[in-house]
Amino acid sequence: MSGEPDIPREEEQRIDSRIIPVMREAVFMVQMILFRTLKENIALRYQERSGRHHTRLAGAVVNNLFGTHPSDPEVAEFARHNRELVEEELRGLAGRCSQLTPHLTDALRMQTICDNQEGIHSIPSLLMARALGILEEERPLPMPSTFMITVRQLAAEHGLVEPMQPTAGPQDDPS
């Protein structure tokens, strides 16, 4: 294992800037799926706590993993005051959300690519994911279109979007 996780260098130069917002939307969808999964899991384990606590804890874990900062100051305050609990949840993430690790690996890598294109340094998120046992380093990096289709299918399985319908091709035209 080398010092840095295997990520594309300069994403094999540059990607079309029009695709970055679409890739970021797919990354956000993975974050939403992780958030919902965590919130349900946290609610089962911390039944004595309020739904608001479950929501904030799940949000703090997702924000921490993806290196995002909450816009709501109360959420940031919750994360600061519950740092040990957030870290405990992060350490248990690989075991509790193992079915999502391939998607988390892809989303974190795609986020890093998008960030790199915009001059943002987000390698620490990949390093954290590696340390937490979430980053599947041997997993090949998907093409952006494959990543976006896979995320859409995953989101449909989780009820966040409608399933994709096959498009009618010329051979399907009844006329």
Q: Which of 24, 108, 95 is nearest to 66 (CA)?
A: 108
| Angstrom distance (rounded) from CA 149 to CA 147 | 6
In a domain? residue 61: yes
In a domain? residue 14: no
Q: Which class for 61: exposed (0-12), middle (13-18), buried (19 or more C-beta within 10 A)?
A: buried
Average pLDDT (158-175) is: 69
Domain extent for 58: 19-159
pLDDT in tens, 27-74: 999 999 999 999 999 999 999 999 999 999 999 999 999 999 888 888
* pLDDT band at residue 1 under the 50/70/90 scheme: very low
In a domain? residue 4: no
| Lowest mean pLDDT segment, chosen from 124-128, 147-151, 161-165 | 161-165
Q: How many structural domains comprise the chain? A: 1
In a domain? residue 7: no
Of the two residues 170 and 102, the one the predictor is more confident about is: 102
| Angstrom distance (rounded) from CA 50 to CA 21 | 35
pLDDT in tens, 64-119: 999 998 888 888 999 999 999 999 999 999 999 999 999 999 999 999 999 998 98
pLDDT given at position 11: 41
Q: How far is CA 134 from CA 15, 92, 109, 110, in A?
A: 26, 10, 12, 15
pLDDT in tens, 142-159: 999 999 999 999 999 998
In a domain? residue 150: yes
pLDDT given at position 65: 96
pLDDT in tens, 11-26: 444 567 788 999 999 9
In a domain? residue 172: no
pLDDT given at position 72: 81
pLDDT given at position 167: 66
- Total residue count of the chain as it appears in this document: 175
In a domain? residue 166: no
Q: Report the amino acid identity of residue 64.
A: N
In a domain? residue 170: no
pLDDT given at position 12: 44
